[in-house]
Homo-oligomer: A and B are copies of this chain.
Amino acid sequence: MNPVNKTAQQKSVTNVNAIQWQDGILMLLDQRVLPEKVVYLQLSNVKAVAEAITDMVVRGAPAIGITAAFGVVIAARDRLHGSGAWSESVKKAVFDDIELLAAARPTAVNLFWALARMKSLIEACSETQSSETESSVTESSANDDIVDKLLDEAKNIHQQDIAANHLMGGLGAELLTKPCNVLTHCNAGALATGGYGTALGVIRHAHKAGKINHVYADETRPWLQGARLTAWEMKQEQIPVSLLVEGAAAHLMKLGRVQWVIVGADRITANGDAVNKIGTYSLAVLARHHGVKFMVVAPTSTIDMQTATGDDVVIENRAAAEILTFSGKCIAPEGVNAWNPAFDVTPASLIDAIVCEKGVILQPGSEKMSSMANRSYLIDSR
């Protein structure tokens, strides 16, 4: 991964594409060093893409999915380049690369969703390819055609995600019936998605509509996505924001300072359970205790109707070092253990509203989720 420092050129994160495709190279904004440094990493092979996902250069369920889709474009191009012509063995090699990408992180379903979509296209192209080759289309143009189609699909996934975020922004903002303060957790913003954001998309939209006075943002240990990324996004748009430690959220609610908790999700299961950044479930319990409303904002790509409940989802456990060290410095005695689950499960019963681009589900449950999944895609039908 070659770093490209863009600090000078980079003024506003809101207009940034954290994920960019430029001249056949995938450029990722390195979210690990934000806000201190604005650095893009150039990823030129599929292994680097998988590592960037694992190492959290890019994070946020929709952003991971989009990144992986571009990873498949790189894989197909490189495998074709190494082999000369599309074949079953090239396809197999690309599918192996897809497995590599799928293994990069276990919890966010958008990763598997995007890879499945790319895989379907490869299957479809492979069939066309074999019939076209028989009818004497030149190999080279047919090969380019597959890579081009995959690139178009990756770009579609990216653009559809941005469009979905804008739709969700409007739908979620409608739920705020009067001006209020909100609390958010982690970063479900432009940086976590194709752009604009899920939870922060709603916050952006609602703030613009005069419905949000103040945003409270959990700093979100251990990665500090709230402090580093959400605060940055809010500041860029001059939306008033205050950081707090996770431990202060209950006290904040008790004082009546927030009326809504608005978060994203990494996976929503068939019963409406939401898997999201560790600490989300805690907020949901606290919100219910204090009569604060709880909204989950996520695109269709985050919904996993194949998994019955949140308890069936593999929760990623990350390295203890993420808790035990800070900026390379030890913050705990040597030899001490840490328990570092990256996600938790918020049961549907604690969620007041799930907002996706197809619409809003109040008091989610299996039947409503199923009905939503079968609904036509609003982005296409509007």
Which A residues fall within an 8 A CB radius of B? 35-36, 185, 216, 218-222, 224, 227-228, 231-232, 234-235, 240-252, 254, 277-282, 285-286, 289, 320, 323-324, 326-327, 329-333, 335-341, 344-345
Contact = CB atoms under 8 A, between A and B. Distances in A.
A139 to B, nearest CB: 52
Contacts of A330: 36
B221 A245 contact: yes
Contact of A251 (B232, B240, B241, B341): B341
A341 B257 CA distance: 13
A365 to B, nearest CB: 19
A323 B227 CA distance: 9
A327 B240 CA distance: 26
A207 B161 CA distance: 52
A344 B250 CA distance: 9
A231 B339 contact: no
B244 A336 contact: no
Contacts of A324: 227, 243
User: Copy number in this complex?
Assistant: 2
Given A332-B227, A333-B235, A338 B243 contact: yes
Contacts of A36: 330
B228 A331 contact: yes
Given A35-B332, A221-B221, A248-B344, A243 B282 contact: no
Interface of A is mostly: mixed
A243 B323 contact: yes
A302 to B, nearest CB: 19
A279 B247 contact: yes
A4 to B, nearest CB: 21
Contacts of A248: 278-279, 339-341, 344
Given A285-B285, A327-B329, 8 more contacts: A185-B247, A216-B339, A221-B246, A231-B336, A232-B332, A242-B336, A251-B281, A254-B281
8 contacts: A227-B324, A235-B336, A243-B339, A247-B277, A249-B282, A251-B341, A254-B344, A327-B329
B333 A35 contact: yes
Contact of A220 (B224, B243, B247, B249): B247
A218 B335 CA distance: 17
A319 to B, nearest CB: 13
A185 B36 CA distance: 31
Given A248-B279, A251-B344, A333-B235, A219 B323 contact: yes
Contacts of A278: 245, 247-248, 251
Nearest 5 CB-CB pairings of A with B = A247-B279, A250-B282, A251-B344, A221-B245, A243-B338
A232 B333 contact: yes
A217 to B, nearest CB: 9
A247 B218 contact: yes
Contact of A250 (B232, B251, B281, B335): B281
A185 B248 CA distance: 13
A324 B244 CA distance: 9
A36 B333 CA distance: 8
A308 to B, nearest CB: 17
Contact of A227 (B289, B331, B341): B331
A329 B337 CA distance: 25
B337 A242 contact: yes
Contacts of A327: 326-327, 329
Contacts of A320: 243
Given A35-B332, A326-B327, A331-B227, A338 B221 contact: no
A258 to B, nearest CB: 11
